[in-house]
RNA sequence: GCCCGGGUGGCGGAACUGGUAGACGCGCAGGACUUAAAAUCCUGUUGCCUGUAAAGGCAGUAUCGGUUCGAUUCCGAUCCCGGGCACCA
C-alpha cells in the first residue's frame, strides 16, 4: 500500500473535526494549573482569488507551535477568522450589483475550504468575521467607548468624558463644544488625502500603497472623524522596549512615531504702520536651538494662520497667489518639487529674541503646516533645506557651528568662508561661534544654555514633537462599519446609546459612489433618516464608515469569547489568555495594523476592559515567497502557485514541510517545484520505513525491542535538536526538519528498528506533517490522536558525545584530525598533536612558540 | 539622502559563545535494479593543483584593511542587494 496522501489527509481532517480534537475549552473548563499558549495568525482578507502560498507559510509556523505546545501539555488557543470588510468586495458589488455580504460569504467559504485542506489545528468553533453584525456591533461599541473618552494628561490615561472637568460658566453650546474638543474621537475639517478613483479619503499610512497601485491622491479639506492616537505617542513608543518583536519592526514604529526633542521659540513680528497695535508673533519649532544666532529669516507654511495677518499690503497679491498655488499641489507634488524650493516674502520682519536682529518672514511650501508649529527659523548655514532655499532666494548665511575636527584657525577660517558662500552646509554638532553667550560651547551645552535663556525671557521653552498624526478614521465607503452616531437638525451630533447597537448596513441595490465625496450610504434615504431615541427629534445617520483597520484592532480579543452577547470579551477570559504569546504575519503590517491595534488595546486598558499594557508579546514576520523565477508572484507574470494544485500533486503535509524547509521563516525565498518533490520523497521514505507496501501493515523490521545504545543516542540527539529549534526565538524549522531527515536516513541503515524509537520520531514529526503522523500512529496500534501524546523528553546521558574529532592545527591551519574520547585532558591532546605523524613532518626543524589547546575542539601549534 | 536587514558551492540554505566552512535538501555525475523507462537504493559532489591510488597541497564565506595563535563570526572602510522612511526643521 503506497503512501496515499490524498486519502490520508482527508481522513484525518474529518477525524479532527468530527472529534473536535482542536476545540479549546473556555477557561472555566480548563486545567488552569497548566500554562497557556495563544498562537495567533494575522487573519486574512478573504479575496476571490483564494489562498496564495504566502498565507500557509505563517499559518504553518503557528500551527507547528500550537501542536507542539499541546503535546507539551499547554492549554493552547489557536484560531482563524476573516478581516472581511474592504474595497474589493465593494467593487465587485458595484460591478455585479449584488450585496458585498454575498460575495464575502463566497470568498470566506473558499478560504475556509483551502485552509482546512492544509490541516491547521484551528479551533474552528471560534471562527469570527469582522462583517458579521454580531461582530461589528462590538467594533461600534468600542468606538463609542473611544468617543466617550478623553485623555487625562496628568494621569496619562484615557478616562470617560463623564469624569471630565468642565470649566465653569460655560453656556450649553460652549459646554457641548468643549466636550467635543476633548473626545478621543473627534470631527475636524482637515486636509485629507482624497483619492478620486476610489472615491474615498485615505489615511496617511494608506497613501503610498495606493499610489503604487497607480491611483492619484490629492489634498482636500474635508470634515472627517479622527482618533487621537497622538495622545498615546509616548506610550506607544516606550512600551515597544519590552516587546519581543523583530528589531526592524520596533525601529519602523519608532521612526513612524518620530519623537524629536527641541524647543519652541517665539519671534515677535515687527509692527509696520498697517498692523500697528496688533501683537503678532511667530512660534517656531527647532531641534537645534543652539543655531539661533544663525537665523537669517523665518518661514511660515502656506496654510499658516498668520500669513494673512502679517503680509504687508504691497505683498498681498503675490503672497495670496503663492498660497493658492501651494494649495493645489498634493503632498506628493510638493515633495517631488523638493529640489526646486519656492517661497514668497511677506514684507514683514521678525525680531530674533536672543540678539534683537531683524529678519524677514517668508512663506514657503517646503515647510509643513502639520508638523511642529507650522513655522521654522531659517538657519541656512547649518540646515540643508534652509541652505538650498537661501541660495535660491539670495538670503544671508551666517556660520555658527564649527565641526570639532577643525582645530587650526586657518581651517576654521576656510570653513566659515565656504559656509558663507554656501559651498558647505554642516548640519552636525560642533562648537558654537558668532553666537553671543554660547560662543565656544559644544552643541549639547549650547542647546541647554539657549533653552534656559529663552525660558527665562519668556521667549520659548523646551518642546517635544512627534511625526505621528491623529488617525483619520472615516471612509466614504459602503462596506465598512457604520458609525454609531447621528446628526440632529440643529447641526449637533450625538452618539447612540449602547442599546441601539449594532447600526446595521442596509440591503440595497446600487453601490455606486455618490461622486460628491460622500459614502454610498448618503444616498439611502430610508437608512439615513432616523429619530433620536432619547428626545424623539429628527436625525440623520452619520454616513461615513470606519476604515478596514477597525475590525482588526481587536479581533484577537473576540476569539477568546466569540459568542458573547453581553460583552465584547469576558474579562476573566481576557485575563487568562492575553497577551498573545506568538503573533505571526507579514511585515507589511509592521506600522499600520500593529500600531492601531496597540492603540485600541491601550485605550481599553485605560478604561479597565483589558488587563495588560500590550496585546502582542512576541511578534514574528514571515518572509515573502517568490515565484519560481525569483520575482514576486503575480497574475500578470503567470508565476502564481496555487495551493490547491500543490496539495493535489504532493499533499498538504509535503507543502507544510516544504514551506518550513525552504529557509528561515523571515527570509524572502523563491518557490521550487523540485524542492517540494524532495520533501514529498522524504515523507514517502518515512512511510516505507514503517509500512510494508505489499500488505499495508507495519513492517517486520519494526520490532518490540528497546533501542540499542547507538539508536538511543541518535534518538535523543534528534529530540534535543528538534525541541530546541522549535523553542528557538528565530523559529528554525528548516534545521529541525533537516534533523528529522537525518534520523530517517540513519534508521534506513538499521536492520531492526525499535518501535519506541519510531513512535517518538512520529511525535517529533507530527507538528510539521500531522496527517501522515496520525496515520502511522494509528497503524502502530494507537487509537487516540497523536496530538494527545506527550512530547518526548531527551536524556542528556545520551545527547552528550562520547568521542569527538579533535583537529590539530599549525599556525591556525588544520593539518590533522584525530578521534578521541570526549573530555580528553588538554595535556593528552597536546601530546597527541605533537606526536602526530603529519604534524611532526611539518614542524620538523621549526621552533614551537606556543600551543593552544581547547578541550574537545582543537590543538593549535604556533611555529616559526 | 537617512534608518533597518542581508551578501557563504551550480541552486535553497547550515555553522554553538571567535575554534574542522558547506549540515539537510535540490541539481548534477557514476553505479545497482529493470527488456527499457519511471520509481527506488547506493556512491560521489566548493574550486584549483600533485598523485594510478591512498593521500596531500593551495585558495576560498561580496571587496580591502585591522584585532587574534585562530575570523563566515569582532572592528573600520568600500561595493552590491532587499525592506522602510523621505523637505518632520
Give all strands of the β-sheet with A200-202 in edge-to-edge order: A200-202, A185-195, A218-227, A471-472
- Which CATH number do you get for residue A713? 1.10.730.10
Residue A834 (CA) to nucleotide B52 (C1'), in angstroms, measures: 32
H-run or E-run covering A848: strand A848-854
Residue A286 belongs to what domain range? 260-465
DSSP character for A271?
A: P
Check if residue A260 sits with its Cβ under 7 angstroms from strand B: yes
Looking at the predicted structure, is the pLDDT value of residue A295 above 60?
yes
Q: State residue A211's pLDDT score.
A: 66
Instruction: Please give the nucleotide, over all strands, whose C1' is closest to the CA of residue A838.
Output: B56
Q: State residue A166's pLDDT score.
A: 92
Residue A613 (CA) to nucleotide B88 (C1'), in angstroms, measures: 28
Instruction: Please give the nucleotide, over all strands, whose C1' is closest to the CA of residue A286.
Output: B89
Confidence of residue A249 (pLDDT cuts 50, 70, 90): very high
- Which CATH number do you get for residue A824? 3.10.20.590
Q: Are A219 and A329 in a shared domain? A: no
Q: What mean pLDDT comes out for the span A487-507?
A: 92
Closest to A289 in 3D by CA, of A469, A407, A457, A414:
A457
A85-89, A115-119, A233-237: the lowest-pLDDT one = A85-89
Q: Where is the domain boundary, A433, A465, A497?
A: A465
d(CA A559, CA A562): 5
Positions 170-209 of A with beta carbon below 7 A from strand B are 204, 208
Residue A813 (CA) to nucleotide B68 (C1'), in angstroms, measures: 14
Instruction: Please give the nucleotide, over all strands, whose C1' is closest to the CA of residue A2.
Output: B39
Residue A857 (CA) to nucleotide B68 (C1'), in angstroms, measures: 18
Q: Where is the domain boundary, A750, A779, A798?
A: A798
Q: Are A69 and A134 in a shared domain? A: yes
Q: Are A302 and A413 in a shared domain? A: yes
Q: Are A236 and A328 in a shared domain? A: no
Q: Are A563 and A709 in a shared domain? A: no
Whether residue A634 is contained in a domain is answered as no
Confidence of residue A43 (pLDDT cuts 50, 70, 90): very high
Looking at the predicted structure, is the pLDDT value of residue A729 above 90?
no
What is the tens place of the pLDDT at every residue in A557-574? Answer: 999 999 999 999 999 999
| Paired residues of A853 in beta bridges | A859
And the C-alpha cell for A154?
A: 496628568
A406: CB partners within 8 A, 6+ apart: A412, A415
Whether residue A4 is contained in a domain is answered as no
Check if residue A332 sits with its Cβ under 7 angstroms from strand B: no
Residue A724 (CA) to nucleotide B44 (C1'), in angstroms, measures: 32
What is the tens place of the pLDDT at every residue in A414-473? Answer: 999 999 998 889 998 899 999 999 999 999 999 999 999 999 999 999 999 999 999 989
Whether residue A12 is contained in a domain is answered as no
Check if residue A331 sits with its Cβ under 7 angstroms from strand B: yes
Q: State residue A450's pLDDT score.
A: 95
Whether residue A645 is contained in a domain is answered as no
Residue A591 (CA) to nucleotide B14 (C1'), in angstroms, measures: 32
H-run or E-run covering A186: strand A185-195
Positions 777-836 of A with beta carbon below 7 A from strand B are 804-805, 807, 809, 811-817
Q: A210 vs A381, which has greater pLDDT?
A: A381
Whether residue A482 is contained in a domain is answered as yes
Q: Are A59 and A203 in a shared domain? A: no
Residue A347 (CA) to nucleotide B16 (C1'), in angstroms, measures: 70
Residue A733 (CA) to nucleotide B58 (C1'), in angstroms, measures: 37
Whether residue A664 is contained in a domain is answered as no
Q: State residue A644's pLDDT score.
A: 94
Check if residue A564 sits with its Cβ under 7 angstroms from strand B: no
Q: What mean pLDDT comes out for the span A318-333?
A: 78
A112-121, A146-155, A220-229, A648-657: the lowest-pLDDT one = A220-229
Q: State residue A844's pLDDT score.
A: 77
Residue A817 (CA) to nucleotide B16 (C1'), in angstroms, measures: 20
Closest to A656 in 3D by CA, of A115, A125, A124:
A115
Instruction: Please give the nucleotide, over all strands, whose C1' is closest to the CA of residue A812.
Output: B70
Residue A830 (CA) to nucleotide B22 (C1'), in angstroms, measures: 28
Q: Where is the domain boundary, A541, A567, A585?
A: A541
Q: What mean pLDDT comes out for the span A512-525?
A: 72
Q: What is the mean pLDDT of chain A?
A: 90
Instruction: Please give the nucleotide, over all strands, whose C1' is closest to the CA of residue A250.
Output: B4
Residue A859 (CA) to nucleotide B21 (C1'), in angstroms, measures: 18
Q: Are A714 and A790 in a shared domain? A: yes
A34-38, A385-389, A773-777, A841-845: the lowest-pLDDT one = A841-845
Check if residue A250 sits with its Cβ under 7 angstroms from strand B: no
Q: Nearest-CA residue to the C1' of B27?
A: A674
A656: CB partners within 8 A, 6+ apart: A56, A60, A63, A118, A119, A768, A769
Q: What mean pLDDT comes out for the span A274-285?
A: 79
Instruction: Please give the nucleotide, over all strands, whose C1' is closest to the CA of residue A337.
Output: B87
Check if residue A484 sits with its Cβ under 7 angstroms from strand B: no
Looking at the predicted structure, is the pLDDT value of residue A695 above 80?
yes
Q: Are A497 and A459 in a shared domain? A: no
Q: Nearest-CA residue to the C1' of B1?
A: A384
Instruction: Please give the nucleotide, over all strands, whose C1' is closest to the CA of residue A379.
Output: B89
Q: Are A483 and A569 in a shared domain? A: no
Residue A838 (CA) to nucleotide B52 (C1'), in angstroms, measures: 23
A76-85, A538-547, A622-631, A772-781: the lowest-pLDDT one = A622-631
Residue A654 (CA) to nucleotide B26 (C1'), in angstroms, measures: 15
Looking at the predicted structure, is the pLDDT value of residue A514 above 60?
no
Q: State residue A90's pLDDT score.
A: 85
Check if residue A532 sits with its Cβ under 7 angstroms from strand B: no
Q: State residue A513's pLDDT score.
A: 57
Residue A622 (CA) to nucleotide B5 (C1'), in angstroms, measures: 14
Q: Are A245 and A276 in a shared domain? A: no
Positions 669-698 of A with beta carbon below 7 A from strand B are 669-670, 672, 674-675, 677-679, 681-682, 684-685
Q: State residue A850's pLDDT score.
A: 85
Instruction: Please give the nucleotide, over all strands, whose C1' is closest to the CA of residue A389.
Output: B87
Based on the structure, what is the number of domains in chain A? 5
d(CA A690, CA A693): 9
Residue A731 (CA) to nucleotide B23 (C1'), in angstroms, measures: 17
Whether residue A267 is contained in a domain is answered as yes
Looking at the predicted structure, is the pLDDT value of residue A369 above 90?
no
Q: State residue A779's pLDDT score.
A: 95
- Which CATH number do you get for residue A117? 3.40.50.620
Q: What mean pLDDT comes out for the span A5-32?
A: 94
Instruction: Please give the nucleotide, over all strands, whose C1' is closest to the CA of residue A816.
Output: B20
Instruction: Please give the nucleotide, over all strands, whose C1' is closest to the CA of residue A252.
Output: B84
Q: Are A597 and A703 in a shared domain? A: no
Q: What mean pLDDT comes out for the span A502-523?
A: 76
Cβ count near A275 (within 10 Å): 17
What is the percent of chain A where pLDDT is above 70? 95
A503-517, A686-700, A721-735: the lowest-pLDDT one = A503-517
Whether residue A826 is contained in a domain is answered as yes
d(CA A213, CA A645): 29
Q: Are A102 and A177 in a shared domain? A: no
Positions 605-634 of A with beta carbon below 7 A from strand B are none
A507-514 long-range contacts, CB within 8 A, separation 24+: A507/A99, A507/A101, A508/A99, A508/A478, A509/A97, A510/A97, A511/A90, A511/A93, A511/A94, A511/A97, A511/A100, A511/A478, A512/A94, A513/A199, A513/A476, A514/A199, A514/A476
Q: Which nucleotides of B are covered by protein (CB under 7 A)?
A: 3-5, 12-15, 19-21, 23-27, 39-42, 56-59, 69-71, 82-89
Q: What mean pLDDT comes out for the span A670-691?
A: 94
Looking at the predicted structure, is the pLDDT value of residue A202 above 90?
no
Closest to A393 in 3D by CA, of A297, A476, A329:
A297
Residue A814 (CA) to nucleotide B60 (C1'), in angstroms, measures: 15
Check if residue A841 sits with its Cβ under 7 angstroms from strand B: no
At residue A819, φ and ψ (nearest 5 deg) are: -85, 125
Check if residue A591 sits with its Cβ under 7 angstroms from strand B: yes
Instruction: Please give the nucleotide, over all strands, whose C1' is closest to the CA of residue A737.
Output: B24
Residue A471 (CA) to nucleotide B83 (C1'), in angstroms, measures: 24
Three-class DSSP category at A821: strand
At residue A550, φ and ψ (nearest 5 deg) are: -60, -50
Residue A622 (CA) to nucleotide B83 (C1'), in angstroms, measures: 13
Confidence of residue A262 (pLDDT cuts 50, 70, 90): very high
Instruction: Please give the nucleotide, over all strands, whose C1' is closest to the CA of residue A291.
Output: B89
Amino acid at each position: 500500500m503506497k503512501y496515499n496522501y490524498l486519502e490520508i489527509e482527508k481522513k484525518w481532517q474529518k477525524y479532527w473535526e468530527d472529534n473536535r480534537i482542536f476545540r479549546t475549552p473556555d477557561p472555566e473548563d480548563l486545567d488552569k494549573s497548566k500554562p497557556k499558549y495563544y498562537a495567533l495568525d494575522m487573519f486574512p482578507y478573504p479575496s476571490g482569488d483564494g489562498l496564495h502560498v504566502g498565507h500557509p507559510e505563517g499559518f504553518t509556523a503557528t500551527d507547528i507551535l500550537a501542536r507542539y505546545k499541546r503535546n507539551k501539555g499547554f492549554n493552547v488557543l489557536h484560531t482563524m477568522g476573516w478581516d472581511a470588510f474592504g474595497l474589493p468586495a465593494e467593487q465587485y458589488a458595484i460591478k455585479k450589483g449584488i450585496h458585498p455580504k454575498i460575495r464575502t460569504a463566497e470568498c470566506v467559504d473558499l478560504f475556509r475550504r483551502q485552509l482546512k485542506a492544509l490541516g491547521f489545528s484551528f479551533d474552528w468553533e471560534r471562527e469570527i468575521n469582522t462583517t458579521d453584525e454580531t461582530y461589528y456591533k462590538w467594533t461600534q461599541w468600542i468606538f463609542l467607548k473611544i468617543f466617550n473618552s478623553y485623555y487625562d494628561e496628568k494621569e496619562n490615561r484615557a478616562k470617560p468624558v463623564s469624569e471630565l472637568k468642565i470649566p465653569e460658566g460655560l453656556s450649553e453650546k460652549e459646554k457641548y463644544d468643549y466636550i467635543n474638543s476633548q473626545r478621543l474621537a473627534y470631527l475636524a475639517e482637515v486636509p485629507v488625502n482624497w483619492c478620486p478613483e476610489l472615491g474615498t479619503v485615505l489615511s496617511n499610512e494608506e497613501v503610498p500603497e495606493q499610489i503604487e497601485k497607480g491611483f492619484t491622491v490629492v489634498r482636500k479639506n474635508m470634515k472627517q472623524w479622527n482618533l487621537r492616537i497622538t495622545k498615546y505617542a509616548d506610550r506607544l513608543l516606550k512600551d515597544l522596549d519590552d516587546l519581543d518583536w523583530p528589531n526592524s519592526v520596533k525601529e519602523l514604529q519608532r521612526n513612524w512615531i518620530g519623537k524629536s526633542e527641541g524647543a519652541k521659540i517665539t519671534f515677535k513680528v515687527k509692527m509696520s504702520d498697517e498692523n500697528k497695535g496688533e501683537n503678532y508673533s511667530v512660534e517656531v519649532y527647532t531641534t537645534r536651538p543652539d543655531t539661533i544666532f544663525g537665523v537669517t529669516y523665518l518661514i511660515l507654511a502656506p496654510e499658516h494662520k498668520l500669513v494673512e495677518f502679517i503680509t504687508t499690503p504691497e505683498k498681498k497679491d503675490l503672497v495670496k497667489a503663492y498660497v493658492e498655488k501651494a494649495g493645489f499641489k498634493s503632498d506628493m507634488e510638493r515633495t517631488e518639487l523638493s529640489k526646486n524650493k519656492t517661497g514668497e516674502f511677506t514684507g514683514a520682519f521678525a525680531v530674533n529674541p536672543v540678539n534683537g536682529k531683524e529678519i524677514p518672514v517668508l512663506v514657503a511650501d517646503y515647510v509643513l503646516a502639520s508638523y511642529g508649529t507650522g513655522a521654522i527659523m531659517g538657519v541656512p548655514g547649518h540646515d540643508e533645506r534652509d541652505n538650498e532655499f537661501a541660495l535660491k532666494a539670495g538670503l544671508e548665511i551666517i556660520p555658527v557651528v564649527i565641526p570639532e575636527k577643525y582645530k587650526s584657525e586657518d581651517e576654521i577660517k576656510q570653513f566659515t568662508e565656504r559656509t558663507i558662500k554656501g559651498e558647505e552646509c554642516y548640519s552636525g554638532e560642533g562648537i558654537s561661534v558668532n553666537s553671543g553667550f554660547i560662543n565656544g560651547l559644544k552643541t549639547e551645552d549650547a542647546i541647554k544654555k539657549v533653552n534656559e535663556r529663552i525660558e527665562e525671557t519668556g521667549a520659548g521653552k523646551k518642546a517635544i514633537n512627534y511625526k505621528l498624526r491623529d488617525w483619520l478614521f472615516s471612509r466614504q465607503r459602503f462596506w465598512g462599519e457604520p458609525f454609531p452616531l447621528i446628526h440632529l437638525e440643529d447641526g449637533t451630533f450625538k452618539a447612540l446609546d449602547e442599546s441601539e447597537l449594532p447600526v446595521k448596513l442596509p440591503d440595497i441595490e446600487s453601490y455606486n459612489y455618490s461622486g460628491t465625496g460622500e459614502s454610498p450610504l448618503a444616498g439611502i434615504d430610508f437608512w439615513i433618516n432616523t429619530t433620536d431615541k432619547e428626545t424623539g427629534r429628527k436625525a440623520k445617520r452619520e454616513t461615513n464608515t470606519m476604515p478596514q483597520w477597525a475590525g482588526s484592532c481587536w479581533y484577537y480579543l473576540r476569539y477568546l469569547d466569540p459568542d458573547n452577547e453581553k460583552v465584547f470579551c469576558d474579562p476573566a477570559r481576557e485575563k487568562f489568555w492575553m497577551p498573545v504569546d506568538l503573533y505571526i504575519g507579514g511585515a507589511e503590517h509592521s506600522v499600520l495594523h500593529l500600531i492601531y491595534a496597540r492603540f485600541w488595546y491601550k485605550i481599553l486598558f485605560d478604561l479597565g476592559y483589558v488587563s495588560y499594557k500590550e496585546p502582542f508579546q512576541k511578534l514574528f514576520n514571515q518572509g515573502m515567497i517568490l515565484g519560481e523565477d525569483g520575482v514576486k508572484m503575480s497574475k500578470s507574470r503567470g508565476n502564481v502557485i496555487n495551493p490547491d494544485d500543490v496539495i493535489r500533486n504532493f499533499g498538504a503535509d509535503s507543502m507544510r514541510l516544504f514551506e518550513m524547509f525552504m529557509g528561515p521563516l523571515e527570509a524572502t525565498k523563491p518557490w521550487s517545484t523540485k524542492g517540494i518533490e524532495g520533501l514529498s520523497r522524504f515523507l514517502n521514505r518515512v512511510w516505507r520505513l514503517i509500512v510494508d507496501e505489499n500488505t499495508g501493515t507495519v513492517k517486520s523490521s519494526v520490532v518490540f525491542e528497546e533501542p540499542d545504545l547507538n539508536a538511543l543516542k541518535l534518538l535523543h540527539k534528534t529530540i534535543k535538536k528538534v525541541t530546541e529549534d522549535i523553542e528557538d526565538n528565530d523559529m528554525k524549522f528548516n534545521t529541525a526538519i533537516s534533523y528529522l531527515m537525518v534520523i530517517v536516513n540513519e534508521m534506513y541503515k538499521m536492520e531492526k528498528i525499535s518501535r519506541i524509537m519510531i513512535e517518538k520520531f512520529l511525535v517529533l514529526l507530527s507538528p510539521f506533517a500531522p496527517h501522515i503522523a496520525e496515520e502511522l500512529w494509528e497503524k502502530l496500534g494507537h487509537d487516540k490522536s497523536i496530538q494527545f501524546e506527550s512530547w518526548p523528553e531527551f536524556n542528556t546521558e545520551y545527547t552528550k558525545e562520547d568521542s569527538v574529532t579533535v583537529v590539530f592545527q599549525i599556525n591556525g591551519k588544520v593539518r590533522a584530525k584525530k578521534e578521541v574520547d570526549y573530555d580528553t585532558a588538554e595535556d593528552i591532546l597536546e601530546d597527541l598533536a605533537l606526536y602526530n605523524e603529519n604534524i611532526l613532518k611539518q614542524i620538523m626543524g621549526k621552533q614551537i612558540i606556543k600551543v593552544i589547546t581547547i578541550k574537545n575542539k582543537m590543538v593549535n601549534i604556533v611555529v616559526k
